Amino acid sequence: MRDDTDGLASAGPEFLNRLEAALPGRVTAPTDAYLTEARGRYTGLAAAVVRPHSTEEMARVVRLAAEARVGIVPYAGGTGLVGGQTAQGPAVPILVSVEKMDRIVEVNTADNVAQVEAGAILSIIHDKVEDHDRLFPLWLASQGSARIGGLLATNAGGVQVLRYGSARDLCLGLEVVMADGTVWNGLKRLRKDNTGYDLRHLMIGSEGTLGIITGATLKLTPKPVDTATALVSVAGPQAAIALLNVVRAHLGETISAFELMHRQGLEFLAEHLPQIAQPFAHRPEWSVLIEVGGGAEARMQERLETALMVGAEEGLVSDALIAQSDTQSRAFWDVREHIPEANRKVGAVSNHDISVPVSAVPEFVERGGPAIAAIDPSLRINAFGHLGDGNLHYNVFPAPGRTRAEYEERRSEIKAVVHDLVHALGGSVSAEHGIGRMKVDDLERYSDPAKLTAMRAIKAALDPLGIMNPGALFRG
Amino acid sequence: MRDDTDGLASAGPEFLNRLEAALPGRVTAPTDAYLTEARGRYTGLAAAVVRPHSTEEMARVVRLAAEARVGIVPYAGGTGLVGGQTAQGPAVPILVSVEKMDRIVEVNTADNVAQVEAGAILSIIHDKVEDHDRLFPLWLASQGSARIGGLLATNAGGVQVLRYGSARDLCLGLEVVMADGTVWNGLKRLRKDNTGYDLRHLMIGSEGTLGIITGATLKLTPKPVDTATALVSVAGPQAAIALLNVVRAHLGETISAFELMHRQGLEFLAEHLPQIAQPFAHRPEWSVLIEVGGGAEARMQERLETALMVGAEEGLVSDALIAQSDTQSRAFWDVREHIPEANRKVGAVSNHDISVPVSAVPEFVERGGPAIAAIDPSLRINAFGHLGDGNLHYNVFPAPGRTRAEYEERRSEIKAVVHDLVHALGGSVSAEHGIGRMKVDDLERYSDPAKLTAMRAIKAALDPLGIMNPGALFRG
């Protein structure tokens, strides 16, 4: 995809001087921590890191960059996995971090909203609203360092999307510095507002290519006070989906998580993180972690037991463990939550964050295995994730004793096979993580042409100079 | 607001001949039913009504209109209340109805989705998915004639938004004929898809000004099998909000409706629809209708009783009736659902569809009364609606024995006073109904300038000829 980012200027000394003069003390040299993504896979380019302390300062940065036509890479927690925070040039941009704007401005229990600055760290938001007996249900692995501005810019997901939706569904309002340096104050806290185009949803998920999110109004929910957790062995994805529908019939929308795990993940865990206790005596081929939560006196455990009994009667459940204490529930979650760490220790040849219609998950799994084996039968697959959303993390690993480096040449073939299959099933090659710079080719290859045309037109309309996160989403 | 709709051509005989040749039998003369909105308040302009039978035919219409630069007014159920379906000229457009594209293509219980064409009538969708034991929870007064294309184009709301969200939250994918006649096929049924800008949310609520929705994938939910309904007398909006939080603490997100009613509405009802039984012996100043629903064995009635008891102990509940049968529940709903009809029989001087932050509802009500009385102390106010969303229908009526016509000259003053107050409280002057042609001035007056600039840029980018619903949202 080409857009109008040609003709960007590098941020040279003269520009940086002007920046420093306009924002004394906010401009520093970029360190590796800013330029290299967490896993060390991409290294970015930036002439300086600017850390504004307010929306007004942010707007000043953007106006100066627009004037000089210098690219801006917005930076929040740096936890993105697709290179959205690592610019590649050729023109050298500035990196603008929201970390100094990290206040939780207000938690309002009457409106059930929190107003926060873009730099607020997710886990700190969690803690703060819990003090007010509320839940901000965006829940994901990187929550200890991810910042809300980045989470919204990438429409982050996680384990509770099934119940509460993605980041976009948890946001009532935004404040954004637009590409011309004007500020859109959309920090409303309204549940309903039908006055014109929904800029909020356009900005959310636009990965910093249309403006910089500086603040947000977040939707809070009541904290489920009565919860229940189960670990259930099932015959396969098809049975798991049928079980999900049984649990739904009994527990409605109170299902907070419905996470599928394949035995491969449990084996990686046993090998690389043996300290994590595995509840099942024999590791099942497929299992699901279920969590449900309701209000006072909701009798969740009893009702979940009933649902699982019905599931067992219908032949969907081979074995079921229901947590009898918070400690046991925590132990079940430990299994699920440590799978990514075990994966990293093994070292994947290729990771895929895919979604298909829920009903197509079984076919995806059935066809994916042979397709990968046809490339190299020694490859191992670990499929796990958010079954209720049709979203799997589908990761391909070397044979035992071999390393990812040995498969270097097969990686793009593996990706193409997985992504083609996903596309054939009406799925998405980026369910949660976004496009960033890593998946620009995929976006071009798999998107509907009319959608690409509309995206280019919107980008040109709202960022005519092409300064906002150049190279992300669109080819630089 | 000015946009690039200057230079539109009227749909003359030559253009209509070309249209008829390209789509034989699809072009007819416009009848009053298409040109006059349901309440008879606006009459529109159109040279012809075109009724395509397929997306391909729809695309052909748009291409011909683009070629000739003739305006297109998309038309679905015609139930909109803000003149979005009634063009005013000066150039005479064509009206394009989706009524012949009304199929429910598929109901898929594994994916919990229904795929429908834009002309499908809401109540028919309800019935069809109920046959599959599912719920499509968009629920509003006009559901017997409203069509899904229009409901999505205007992001319709209704009584169950508190629990399930507005139309946009109930839609997973769209098919849209864009303003250049290309077709965006975004009929995905994915719960997660982070590949580029969210065109779906941009199109939803854009009121036909960016393209014509021709199909949608709708999100279905499990049907609550265990429900409970209560009619509760409360001291006022403040107590009602506190009660909402108590009920939330007990019943989590299972609250399907939390509707506030003022005595004025009950009095109108008693006078004009005496056949509607009123459950309370003495009409309370303020009351709320509460409905909750959960899965099997959720013991909703018992838990709602407990919550209301707690509410009573906290002094929030004066009197509470809990429906003991479906018939009684229906009787409670009859009261709420007939208030608009009684209102129409009285004849409002001015209606307002407003939202404020939930916590600001009491202040809005407290300040609204004296502000209206200052204009004319004989005016009567009926405030009712979706308290959980901060969304009130705030309608102003003549004194007993007088007619709306007698207040004609005060109407714009009343509107300004109400809207200014809403704006001062951080609210929206169109919570559910949209902007259409009626509220273009309000949009300009109350919107953030950066938002208006972005809206104009998006309109120009996606509909450069200005042919899509000219005069709606933007000044013609």
pLDDT digits (tens, 9 = 90+) for A235-248: 999 999 999 999 99
Q: What is the pLDDT of residue B41?
A: 78
pLDDT at A219 > cutoff 70: yes
Average pLDDT for B411-421:
97
Q: Which of B111, B169, B448 minimises the CB distance to A357?
A: B111
pLDDT at A297 > cutoff 90: no
Q: With an 8 Å Cβ cutoff, are B252 and A168 in contact? A: no
Tell me which chain A residues have a C-beta less than 8 angstroms from the C-beta of B473. Answer: 196-197
SS3 track for B129-146 = HHCCCEECCCCCCCCCCC
Q: Which of B183, B186, B253 minimises the CB distance to A253?
A: B253
Tell me which chain B residues have a C-beta less than 8 angstroms from the C-beta of A191. Answer: 161-162, 355, 358, 388-391
Q: What is the pLDDT of residue A459?
A: 98
Tell me which chain A residues have a C-beta less than 8 angstroms from the C-beta of B356. Answer: 190
Higher pLDDT, A5 or A341: A341
Q: Which of B184, B190, B252 minimises the CB distance to A451?
A: B184
Residue B55 distance to chain A (closest CA, Å): 14
Q: What is the pLDDT of residue B63?
A: 98
Instruction: State the pTM of this model.
Output: 0.96
Instruction: Tell me what the pLDDT averaged over chain B comes to.
Output: 95
Residue A354 distance to chain B (closest CA, Å): 8
CB B305 within 8 A of CB B322: yes
pLDDT at B3 > cutoff 60: no
Q: What is the pLDDT of residue A202?
A: 98
Tell me which chain A residues have a C-beta less than 8 angstroms from the C-beta of B198. Answer: 155, 168, 201-202, 204-205
Residue B406 distance to chain A (closest CA, Å): 30
Cα(A299)–Cα(B306) distance, integer angstroms: 14
pLDDT at A3 > cutoff 60: no
SS3 track for A154-219 = CCCCCCCHHHHCCHHHHEEEEEEEECCCCEEEECCCCCCCCCCCCHHHHHCCCCCCCEEEEEEEEE
Closest residue, chain B, to A439 (C-alpha):
B195
Name every residue whose Cβ is closer than 8 Å to that of residue B65 and which is 6 or more positions away in sequence.
Answer: B71, B72, B94, B467
What percentage of chain B has pLDDT greater than the value 90? 92
**Range of weakest confidence among A134-138, A185-189, A387-391, B2-6:** B2-6
ipTM, two decimals, is: 0.95
Tell me which chain B residues have a C-beta less than 8 angstroms from the C-beta of A434. Answer: 194-195
Q: With an 8 Å Cβ cutoff, are A197 and B458 in contact? A: yes
User: Length of chain A, please?
Assistant: 476
Residue environment code for B232-258, b if the CB has 16+ CB neighbours within 10 A, otherwise e: bbbbebbbbbbbbbbbbbbbbbbbbbb
- Written as six digits, the tokens of B309 are 């008891």
DSSP category for residue B404: G
Name every residue whose Cβ is closer than 8 Å to that of residue B209 and which is 6 or more positions away in sequence.
Answer: B459, B463, B468, B469, B472, B473, B474
DSSP category for residue B254: G
Average pLDDT for B319-342:
96
Average pLDDT for B269-297:
94
- A contact test, residue of B82, B192, B419 with most A CBs within 10 A: B192
Residue B385 distance to chain A (closest CA, Å): 12
Q: What is the pLDDT of residue B334?
A: 96
Enumerate the H helices of B42-99 as residue ranges.
55-68
Output the CA–CA distances (angstroms, integers) from residue A211 to A1, A66, A177, A182, A418, in the order listed.
19, 12, 6, 10, 33
Q: Which of B168, B183, B192 minimises the CB distance to A166?
A: B192
pLDDT at A4 > cutoff 80: no
Name the helix (H) or strand (E) containing B198. Answer: none
Q: What is the pLDDT of residue A6?
A: 63
pLDDT grade, residue B89 (50/70/90)? confident
Closest residue, chain B, to A447 (C-alpha):
B195
Tell me which chain A residues have a C-beta less than 8 angstroms from the C-beta of B297. Answer: 250, 299, 303, 306
List the B104-108 sheet strands across, edge first: B104-108, B113-117, B211-219, B171-178, B183-186
Q: What is the pLDDT of residue B1?
A: 32
Q: With an 8 Å Cβ cutoff, are A201 and B196 in contact? A: no
- A contact test, residue of B55, B176, B188, B197 with most A CBs within 10 A: B197
CB B85 within 8 A of CB B78: yes
pLDDT grade, residue B42 (50/70/90)? confident
pLDDT at B322 > cutoff 70: yes
- Number of neighbouring beta carbons within 10 Å of residue A36: 16
Residue A402 distance to chain B (closest CA, Å): 33
Q: What is the pLDDT of residue A252?
A: 85
Q: What is the pLDDT of residue A74?
A: 98
Average pLDDT for B422-429:
97
Residue A261 distance to chain B (closest CA, Å): 19
pLDDT at A253 > cutoff 70: yes
Instruction: Tell me what the pLDDT averaged over chain A comes to.
Output: 95
Tell me which chain A residues have a C-beta less than 8 angstroms from the C-beta of B435. Answer: 194-196
CB A162 within 8 A of CB A386: yes
Amino acid sitting at position B258 = F
Average pLDDT for A333-351:
95
Name every residue whose Cβ is closer than 8 Å to that of residue B298 and which is 6 or more positions away in sequence.
Answer: A252, A298, A303, B224, B225, B226, B254
Q: What is the pLDDT of residue A1?
A: 32
List the A255-262 sheet strands across, edge first: A319-322, A226-234, A286-294, A255-262, A380-386, A391-397, A353-355
Q: With an 8 Å Cβ cutoff, are B295 and A357 in contact? A: no
pLDDT digits (tens, 9 = 90+) for A302-330: 999 999 999 999 999 999 999 999 999 99
Tell me which chain B residues have a C-beta less than 8 angstroms from the C-beta of A184. Answer: 448, 450-451, 454
What percentage of chain A has pLDDT greater than the value 90? 92
Name every residue whose Cβ is closer than 8 Å to that of residue B193 and which is 6 or more positions away in sequence.
Answer: A355, A428, A430, A431
Tell me which chain B residues have a C-beta less than 8 angstroms from the C-beta of A206. Answer: 197
pLDDT at A392 > cutoff 80: yes
Higher pLDDT, A49 or A39: A49
Q: What is the pLDDT of residue B6?
A: 63
pLDDT at A367 > cutoff 50: yes
**Cross-strand pairs, A228:** A292
Q: For residue A114, how many C-alpha atoms fall within 13 Å in the half-sphere facing its CB?
A: 28
